[in-house]
């Protein structure tokens, strides 16, 4: 049976108020929140954008979504996890500050923003899934313990996965740093000795004493390292990194296995909303104003993340007249994540597109 994907068109000439009105109309017509009950704690998962980025879904659009949830007498919050790479979203304090600077305040969205600190044990969960690559997924407990989950994603290209949408927002986005490292790389973090000043911060941060100082440089014992990525967050000199390319062949399937861990634990059917607006080559993690690679298409929503991402991909390819993301990222095949997600039972590749 085909899944339903709801769509409303948006153009670059639309003002913010027009897009807000269209989003409200889409949510009213689709009825995707009908299963959410009074007093449900609803976690709205999104990406707040890195410093200097402008492609993220805007706070005024989250206001429409959260008001709709509050109209059901639910208790929504906005949330994301801290990043693996070094930046303003590496730790909860700076991440929350940046979210507020980008307009995601209680005054603008009507709800609280929570960035869980994955250094606190109670904020993390290890879920046994026994999949091909991932046996135990390490995710933020906030998304697992919520009564309902709403994934809000900016659909765009991605250097490691070809594109990122609903599936990536959940699979990568709900993982703690240790889980992100597990997906990105097959090895322990690496140390750039020329940048290391032997400050010892990484030694202090490592929970298993896998890092030592020798000859005024830090060294990681890869056999002892558990891949928690605490050292990346602790280093203030950009001396520790991940060998990003080492996981290029497997990252999409690992990401989908993580998505299965999160979605398999949800009490209610999650809802997914993709914004095909300001579609860019790279993800919102890049601290720059990435230009459009194709004109704006619209907003799509579904209970099925596979159908939703496939519909977005199909519409973008039709608009561009070619597989634009494959052209931009020739070493990545974004269809790999869709096929694997369907194989794991996360959704359908076939869908009915319903314009509202």
Domains, in order of start, for the chain: 3-183+248-355 (3.40.50.11440), 188-242 (3.30.70.20)
- Closest residue by Cα to residue 234 from 279, 268, 189: 189
pLDDT at 66: 98
In this structure, the chain runs to a length of 356
pLDDT at 265: 86
Output the six-digit token pair for 156.
């765009």
pLDDT at 154: 98
User: Which are the contacts of 247, defined by CB distance < 8 A and separation ≥ 6?
Assistant: 160, 183, 184, 185, 186, 254
Output the six-digit token pair for 51.
């410093």
Angle between helices 16-30 and 59-71 (to 10 degrees): 30
Angle of CA points 114, 180, 280, to nearest 5°: 80
pLDDT at 125: 97
pLDDT at 223: 87
The Cα-based distances of 137 to 21, 45, 79, 171 in angstroms read 38, 18, 19, 10
pLDDT at 252: 95
Output the six-digit token pair for 209.
């004493």
pLDDT at 13: 96
* CB distance 138 to 227 below 8 Å: no
pLDDT at 92: 95
pLDDT at 137: 97
pLDDT at 256: 98
What is the pTM for the complete model shown? 0.89
The tens place of each residue's pLDDT in the chain, 356 residues long, gives 899 999 999 999 999 999 999 999 999 999 999 999 999 999 999 999 999 899 999 999 999 999 999 999 999 999 999 988 777 888 999 999 999 999 999 999 999 999 999 989 999 999 999 999 999 999 999 999 999 999 999 999 998 899 999 999 999 999 999 999 899 877 678 999 999 999 999 999 898 899 999 999 999 998 888 777 788 878 989 899 887 666 778 999 999 999 999 999 877 789 999 999 999 999 988 778 889 999 999 999 999 999 999 999 999 999 999 999 999 999 889 999 999 999 999 999 999 999 99
């Amino acid at each position: 049976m085909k899944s339903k994907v709801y769509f409303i068109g948006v153009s670059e000439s639309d003002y913010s108020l027009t897009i807000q009105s269209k989003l409200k109309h889409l949510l009213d017509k689709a009825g995707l929140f009908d299963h959410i009950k009074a007093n449900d704690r609803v976690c709205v998962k999104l990406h707040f954008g890195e410093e200097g980025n402008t492609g993220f879904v805007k706070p005024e659009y989250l206001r429409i979504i959260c008001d709709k949830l509050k109209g059901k007498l639910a208790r929504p919050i906005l949330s994301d996890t801290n990043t693996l790479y070094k930046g303003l979203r590496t730790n909860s304090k700076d991440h929350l500050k940046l979210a507020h600077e980008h307009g995601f305040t209680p005054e603008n969205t009507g709800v609280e923003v929570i960035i869980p600190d994955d250094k606190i044990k109670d904020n993390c969960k290890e879920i046994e899934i026994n999949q091909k690559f991932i046996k135990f997924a390490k995710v933020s407990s906030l998304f697992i313990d919520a009564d309902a989950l709403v994934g809000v994603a900016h659909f765009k290209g991605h250097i490691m996965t070809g594109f990122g949408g609903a599936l990536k927002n959940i699979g990568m986005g709900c993982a703690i740093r240790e889980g992100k490292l597990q997906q990105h790389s097959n090895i322990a973090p690496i140390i750039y000795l020329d940048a290391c000043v032997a400050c010892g911060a990484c030694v202090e941060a490592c929970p298993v004493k896998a890092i030592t100082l020798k000859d005024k440089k830090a060294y990681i014992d890869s056999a002892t390292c558990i891949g928690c990525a605490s050292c990346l967050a602790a280093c203030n000199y950009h001396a520790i990194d991940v060998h990003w390319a080492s996981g290029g062949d497997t990252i999409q399937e690992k990401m989908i296995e993580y998505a299965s861990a999160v979605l398999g634990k949800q009490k209610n059917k999650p809802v997914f909303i993709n914004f095909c607006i300001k579609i860019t080559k790279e993800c919102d993690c890049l601290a720059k104003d990435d230009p459009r690679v194709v004109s704006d298409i619209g907003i799509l929503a579904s209970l099925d993340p596979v159908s939703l991402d496939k519909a977005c991909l199909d519409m973008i390819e039709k608009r561009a007249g070619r597989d634009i993301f494959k052209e931009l990222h020739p070493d990545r095949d974004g269809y790999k994540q869709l096929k694997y997600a369907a194989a794991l039972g996360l959704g359908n590749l076939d869908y009915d597109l319903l314009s509202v």
